[in-house]
Structure 1
Amino acid sequence: MTRWVFILALALWAGAIARDGLDRWVDATVLPPLQVAVSTELRDRNGHLLRAYTVADGRWRLPVTVEEVDPTYLQMLIRYEDKRFDHHNGVDPLAMTRAIGQALWNGKVVSGGSTLTMQVARLLEDGSTGRWSGKLRQIRVALALERHLNKDEILALYLNRAPFGGNIEGVRAASYAYFDRPPRRLTPAQAALLVALPQSPETRRPDRAPDTATAARDMVLQRLHSDGLLDDATVTAAMRDPVRPTRHILPAFAPHLADRAVTERPDSNRHDLTLHLPLQVALERLAADAVAGRSDGVQIAMIVADHQNGHMLASVGSAAYSADAGGGFIDLTQAVRSPGSTLKPLIYGLGFDRGLIHPETLIADRATDFDGYAPQNFDGLYRGELRVRTALQHSLNIPAVAITQALGPHHLLAGLRHAGADPQVPGGAPGLAVALGGVGVTLEDLVRLYAAIGNGGTAVDLRWYDDATPGFAPRSVINRAAAWHIADILLDAPRPPNVQGTGIAFKTGTSYGHRDAWALGFDGRHVVGVWMGRPDGTPVPGAFGGDLAAPVLFDAFARIKPQVDQISPPPHETLMLPTAQLPRHLQQFGAAEVATNTPRIAFPPDGAVLEDGLLTLKVRDGRAPYVWLANGQPVARTHRTQVDIDAPGVGFSSLTVIDADGQSARAQVTLR
């Protein structure tokens, strides 16, 4: 049993008398690899662990630095395992002499005399501790390590490689697995248990042998008390703390977004995201509560972002990340769905931006046939003439389609794309049905749109990496005044029954067949999006955005902060007038006019600011055929009163129409 002790003593003695030979022997040491595969992990904006993945062999090995570990644990570890760690060169002669003497006196090994550096050497090579050859190798590697690394680097190797039972390696993984907390927040009782575990990680596992783990922990506490590191009160309280026979699942928050991030940057072991862990946890619980007890298979997805800087603060892909009939593994923030009425704020915003309407403009809500397309309001009723403000607040369909016709549906899609969305159009050619949800978008697309409105009409580069290169330069979706008008209108939108919350501009939507229930909203800083429905896209009878998703939206805002951020006051250029004082063309939308023999350009109006791309031209009165000129060049000849042309290019343009009698009309527009 003591053979290795005598040989070791002989080796040390020989080394002492042959210093040069020892130096050459140590310097010739080939060190084992110091790097090892570590778990890929994702942290929130404050460095808190969101989610981690095991390494290829199935082990949890979370990287940790000395600074990330509780100082009391480090003191306990060094005092218990290697009290002269800061002073020896890898081998502690006093500890080794003690071990040799105890072995000679007892006829067996009582204490090993290993330093922390020697233990690191064994961990790096996964070597034996019982055979003299293995011990000698550890001594050699330990001496070499001390010549290549400083003490903190050696300690960090131990903290990352020490075994703690099962597939857990390193103090950080152990702290999460056994105590569900990071290692910087250990109690004395927890720290003592983690000191004791690596000596016999399988027999002392608290989840399998809590009594053995308790005895080992208490032994550490008593030794440190005898050494004067811990006082009576600390030891007494620590020994009363029960060792619980549990093993926690390591954090797995924002799992869907984590999967996306790892896919996007597969070579990174650490991903620092913009998410806020407390908010993420709160919204995951809210999502689970929102669908709990339902028997109709409804799922949920939510996103919260800061619309001033584009940082995503929380992302919930489903109510539970699990393989079940509820589609838990599907990231429903990315599912392409019909948006229902949630595009109406963009429709009205574009109308404000281009001088077609004002919140106080009167608009007709009556049965209308739009060249074969005859939509109805959701309740089948018509309200006659009313203000644009009221039409949007009550989400009426006819006015929204009428404005879309005046804009041109392709301009609505252009607005979506400028916000950063990627709308999917069935058949590829947009029609007026896009106004009421006849287009495919994702929850993330809609959050981008509402973020732009909340951000004064400027698109927001929604992202979850703070260091990510912006996806696009800031660009205008609608002007500041138009964005403020939309916010002002939606602030007073009717709340669902029993829903509290002021200062939040919001819009709900329900897709055709009750397949999707939506709620989008923003305050002066944050934007929130909620989708609810079935993962397979089948109808949910009786599901409405206002009843199903809106209450969750307001609950989400309540979890962001106690008070909402106020929406900014109107910009100086905002036109704040009652209907009667508006310019004549803004007093009533689409009012019938007395026909004359002179042609007039109905769209675009003079002075309009339009998006570059396909341009819709409309003429009233005059006599067909009509010839259209752009900057003096013929671009179209038609017998119809409406025609689409390719826009002449960014900047100022002059549009002219000439009828069959040679009479003309002109409009100056700006293309951007």
Structure 2
Amino acid sequence: MRRARLLCALAAGLFLAAFARDRVDIWIDDTRLPPLALASSVQVVDRNSALLRAYTVADGRWRLAVTPDQVDPAFATALMAYEDKRFLSHSGVDPRALTRALAQALWNGRVVSGGSTLTMQVARLLEEGTTGEVGGKLRQMRVAWALERRLTKDEILGLYLMLAPYGGNLEGIRAATLSYFGKEPKRLTPAEIALLVAIPQSPETRRPDRHLARATAARDRVLARAERDGLIDADQARAARTETVPGIRKPFPALAPHLADRARRTDPTAQTHRLTLDRALQTALETLARETLASQGDRLQIALVAADHQTGEILASVGSASFTDEARAGFVDMTQALRSPGSTLKPLVYGLAFDEGLAHPETLLEDRPSDFSGYRPQNFDRQYRGTIRARKALQQSLNIPVVALTEALGPARLLTAMDKAGMRHEMPQGQPGLAIALGGVGVTLQDMVQLYAAIARGGVALPLRWQANARHEEGQRLLATTSAWFVGDILAGLAPPPGAPQNRLAYKTGTSYGHRDAWAIGYDGRHVIGVWMGRPDGTPVPGVFGADLAAPVLFQAFARLKPGLDPQPPAPPATLLVANAQLPQPLQRFRSRSAAFEPAANAPAVAFPPDGAEVELLQGGLLARVEGGTAPFTWLANGAPVALSLRDRAVMLPGLGAGFVTLSVIDATGQSARATVRLR
């Protein structure tokens, strides 16, 4: 009878235990878990997945996505050894740890250890719950059991790595290593690991940027435990304790801010934006931009674009020297601003002229005062060189020859070529005129780099791309291969700025009207870089020239890109490499459309003062000089003779007063030239 009662009691106990277990299982399975898909910082990465820029989550916290395989394995080992030795074997709650914690509390009369597992800590962090209250602890246990049933250990560890608090608005190990150590968590020292294990236990009292001594002491306790448990030896522990704990937070990477913002605007839902940029080069060129402006006026700004012209990938894009500099309007992306390109469009004009058979690098052009249907351009220095080879005319950036070529081509032909190159352009006065060749059009720095990339690729345009997943698009042929090579060969013969390496960089500078924009764009056999300098509001910068200001920066940018230049390609087989005398007759000397109405090649020209100039009278009169023509010369002022039968080309004209005067010079053959100037 007694045995029967014992059996009944045992059966009832087993039944109750099974019933309780089932009810607990149902209770755990019915647990409503907080969202497990954590909001993380939107991040912009470079071509090698290196972080360029990150953005805080909605509540202003830094929480960067990370997985266990992206963290030094030694961290997980140290974390589990210090926080939860049986993490890999328990089911969310460790009875032994809870029992030990309860016994220590009863024995010491205070809480010595919490007994929380890593899974329970994840449960608390997910719900932002309390740690000490009984109800809160029971809720953590329930959620921990539920998490263990629905997630793998790696997934739970991954949640901890993203949620662990590290003081202030730092959440997760990746935010902590970037802020405290300035690096990713893939490779960590024992001292760094110990600090990262210690801080989450009391994040606000152990954050090293505010409580350095407490943080150091907590780190050393973790190191002592790691040494005791055999994770590190005595020498490693001793060396780790000598490492300085960082006392300040480092700023999060904020490279390429303009392009990063553009990426977010392009795809607002993407969590990660992968760009074609190279972080090391982007850093180097942003540093160069800041250094360049350090000694300049407080309103001057700079922008740079570097690209691989073989692939079309932009490797660096610097929209301004400082994104947050309001005085310089640093928030404006000057790689996308429409600005006058000055003389940097001239290589395209020459390339098109070579294409059309209008000229060859050895063709003779005239650099004399000219009237193009009322448009009378002057050279930048108001001097004229007379008859000059096309090669030298481009290298010296003369205005008269390039306008003559543009007139022969037609301005619309130039705009069509810019369209083929994929360039956005804006005409200030609607219809294109001859001034387009001298910068009378609005273009962007990125598009100008794209144009030079097309010339560097043998005349085939290739749209530049900055998104790593963008489709590779082949552009249209812009120039014949030989024409593109001619342009590159001419530009590579340009002397480098003072102090720059004597290399064969093909480059061109430009200065817009009124000294508003200074440009320098160049390329070698693989890369192309463009530099713009000026004021974002378009106001003039007196005395600024592309050759003086932007060109040295261009050469420095190439030096930071790589130690030497990639060689330019050899001349294509069909290239006509001969002197002027061996050229076909039509190519020996350029003849414009209005050649029949132009003066003869040896006609005289008023070299000084240039037409339209304002000059000061000297004590002896006005200094005048004639070029071309046949001596002797007769000078007239407003139709009245002032100097007769002079063989000298330079003469002092007496008897002139202040005001406007029309000077005329007549040579021995009866040919004449004139210039209207203002005397003061």
| CA-CA distance at 1:101 after TM superposition | 2.3
Deviations 1:204-239 (A, max 9, x none): 110000001011111111111111111111111111
| CA-CA distance at 1:497 after TM superposition | 2.2
Matching residue's letter, 1:531: W
| CA-CA distance at 1:578 after TM superposition | 2.3
Q: Residue 572 of structure 1 aligns with which residue?
A: 573
Q: Residue 370 of structure 1 aligns with which residue?
A: 372
How many Å separate the matches in 2 of 1:594 and 1:363?
12
Counterpart among 194, 202, 205 of residue 203 in structure 1: 205
Against the structure 1 CA distance between its residues 130 and 593, is the aligned structure 2 distance closer, same or farther, given a 3 Å change threshold? closer
Is contact 1:375–1:397 with CA below 8 Å preserved after alignment?
yes
Q: Residue 387 of structure 1 aligns with which residue?
A: 389
Gaps of 5+ in 1: 1-13, 596-672
Is contact 2:167–2:203 with CA below 8 Å preserved after alignment?
yes
Partner SS, residue 522 of structure 2:
strand
Q: Residue 607 of structure 1 aligns with which residue?
A: none
| CA-CA distance at 1:248 after TM superposition | 1.1
| CA-CA distance at 1:384 after TM superposition | 1.6
Deviations 1:289-344 (A, max 9, x none): 11102236221111111111111111111111114211121111112111100000
Is contact 1:15–1:22 with CA below 8 Å preserved after alignment?
no
Q: Residue 524 of structure 2 aligns with which residue?
A: 523
Is contact 2:163–2:172 with CA below 8 Å preserved after alignment?
yes
Larger Rg belongs to: 2
2:542 equivalent to 1:532: no
Matching residue's letter, 2:447: D
| CA-CA distance at 1:501 after TM superposition | 4.1
Against the structure 1 CA distance between its residues 219 and 594, is the aligned structure 2 distance closer, same or farther, given a 3 Å change threshold? closer
Against the structure 1 CA distance between its residues 222 and 408, is the aligned structure 2 distance closer, same or farther, given a 3 Å change threshold? same
Is contact 2:421–2:475 with CA below 8 Å preserved after alignment?
no
Q: Residue 10 of structure 2 aligns with which residue?
A: none
Q: Residue 334 of structure 2 aligns with which residue?
A: 332
Q: Residue 584 of structure 1 aligns with which residue?
A: 585
Q: Residue 217 of structure 1 aligns with which residue?
A: 219
Q: Residue 610 of structure 1 aligns with which residue?
A: none
Q: After the TM superposition, which residues 428-439 of structure 1 pair with which residues of structure 2 at under 5 Å, given as runs? A: 428-439=430-441
Is contact 2:494–2:506 with CA below 8 Å preserved after alignment?
yes
Q: Residue 233 of structure 1 aligns with which residue?
A: 235
Q: Residue 619 of structure 1 aligns with which residue?
A: none
After TM superposition, the score normalised by the length of structure 1 is 0.84
| CA-CA distance at 1:565 after TM superposition | 1.0
Partner SS, residue 518 of structure 2:
strand
Partner SS, residue 282 of structure 1:
helix
Is contact 1:321–1:329 with CA below 8 Å preserved after alignment?
yes
How many Å separate the matches in 2 of 1:594 and 1:292?
51
How many Å separate the matches in 2 of 1:592 and 1:148?
82
2:173 equivalent to 1:171: yes
Q: Residue 86 of structure 1 aligns with which residue?
A: 88
| CA-CA distance at 1:24 after TM superposition | 2.1
Higher alpha-carbon deviation: 162-171 or 124-133: 124-133
Q: Residue 557 of structure 2 aligns with which residue?
A: 556
| CA-CA distance at 1:591 after TM superposition | 7.0
Matching residue's letter, 1:513: G
CA RMSD of aligned residues (A): 1.7
Partner SS, residue 321 of structure 1:
coil
How many Å separate the matches in 1 of 2:202 and 2:339?
55
Partner SS, residue 301 of structure 1:
strand
Q: Residue 507 of structure 2 aligns with which residue?
A: 506
How many Å separate the matches in 2 of 1:25 and 1:389?
87
Q: Residue 117 of structure 1 aligns with which residue?
A: 119
Deviations 1:503-544 (A, max 9, x none): 310000001111111000001111100011112111111110
Partner SS, residue 507 of structure 2:
strand
Q: Residue 192 of structure 1 aligns with which residue?
A: 194
After TM superposition, the score normalised by the length of structure 2 is 0.83
Q: Residue 611 of structure 2 aligns with which residue?
A: none
How many Å separate the matches in 1 of 2:220 and 2:498?
58
Counterpart among 126, 146, 149 of residue 147 in structure 1: 149
How many Å separate the matches in 1 of 2:533 and 2:268?
31
How many Å separate the matches in 1 of 2:95 and 2:310?
62
| CA-CA distance at 1:431 after TM superposition | 0.2
Against the structure 1 CA distance between its residues 241 and 15, is the aligned structure 2 distance closer, same or farther, given a 3 Å change threshold? farther
Matching residue's letter, 1:343: L
Is contact 2:404–2:592 with CA below 8 Å preserved after alignment?
no
Deviations 1:467-505 (A, max 9, x none): 0134x5421111211111111110001222222241310
Q: Residue 101 of structure 1 aligns with which residue?
A: 103
Q: Residue 351 of structure 1 aligns with which residue?
A: 353
Is contact 1:296–1:540 with CA below 8 Å preserved after alignment?
no
How many Å separate the matches in 1 of 2:574 and 2:125?
70
Q: Residue 544 of structure 2 aligns with which residue?
A: 543
Partner SS, residue 509 of structure 1:
strand
Q: After the TM superposition, which residues 265-304 of structure 1 pair with which residues of structure 2 at under 5 Å, given as runs? A: 265-295=267-297, 297-304=299-306
How many Å separate the matches in 2 of 1:593 and 1:65?
72
Is contact 1:214–1:243 with CA below 8 Å preserved after alignment?
yes
Q: Residue 467 of structure 2 aligns with which residue?
A: 465
Is contact 1:15–1:21 with CA below 8 Å preserved after alignment?
no
How many Å separate the matches in 1 of 2:274 and 2:402?
42
Q: After the TM superposition, which residues 590-669 of structure 1 pair with which residues of structure 2 at under 5 Å, given as runs? A: 590=591
Partner SS, residue 202 of structure 1:
helix
| CA-CA distance at 1:390 after TM superposition | 1.1
Partner SS, residue 258 of structure 1:
helix
Matching residue's letter, 1:556: A
Q: Residue 13 of structure 2 aligns with which residue?
A: none
Higher alpha-carbon deviation: 407-416 or 547-556: 407-416
How many Å separate the matches in 1 of 2:349 and 2:46?
36
Is contact 2:339–2:442 with CA below 8 Å preserved after alignment?
yes
Against the structure 1 CA distance between its residues 594 and 23, is the aligned structure 2 distance closer, same or farther, given a 3 Å change threshold? closer
Is contact 2:365–2:388 with CA below 8 Å preserved after alignment?
yes
